[in-house]
């Protein structure tokens, strides 16, 4: 039906089958070795893997707009990381049977 969370999904009685893990690792390996790299040597910034294939209008922006859009994307990524961190902390608080009393929304259990 469902796989467990965390390390139990890799090593345990209900873990993901070895063939599935091998498939995931092979896919990530192919992406790392052949797709997600600067093949043409024309990257504008670290992480620019367009390689001349994808544009979507990026080259039509001026430098200030490009910097603003990259800063917005970085901040969105940071916000997503804090959101996931909050979910993980909330899950662990529930495991130790600790109720968090918050001023606006009350007690979380």
| pLDDT tens readout for residues 18-64 | 999 999 999 999 998 888 887 778 788 887 877 777 778 888 999 99
Examine the pLDDT at 93 and tell me if it is beyond 80: no
Mean pLDDT over all residues of the chain?
A: 84
State residue 97's pLDDT score. 62
Examine the pLDDT at 109 and tell me if it is beyond 60: no
How many whole angstroms separate alpha carbon 95 and alpha carbon 49? 41
Structure tokens at 75: 């901040």
Q: What's this model's pTM, rounded to 2 decimal places?
A: 0.56
Q: What is the mean pLDDT of residues 53-76?
A: 90
State residue 28's pLDDT score. 96
Nearest to 69 by CA among 56, 82, 58, 55: 58
State residue 71's pLDDT score. 94
Neighbouring CB atoms inside 10 A of 4's CB total: 13
């Amino acid at each position: 039906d469902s796989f467990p969370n965390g390390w139990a999904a890799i090593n345990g009685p209900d873990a993901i089958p070895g063939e599935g893990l091998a498939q995931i690792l092979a896919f990530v390996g192919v992406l790392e070795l052949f797709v997600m790299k600067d093949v043409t040597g024309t990257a504008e910034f670290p992480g620019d893997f367009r390689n001349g294939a994808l544009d979507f209008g990026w080259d039509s922006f001026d430098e200030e707009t490009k910097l603003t859009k990259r800063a917005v994307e970085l901040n969105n990524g940071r916000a997503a990381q804090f959101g996931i961190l909050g979910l993980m902390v909330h899950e662990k608080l529930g495991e130790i049977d600790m109720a968090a009393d918050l001023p606006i929304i009350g007690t979380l259990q």
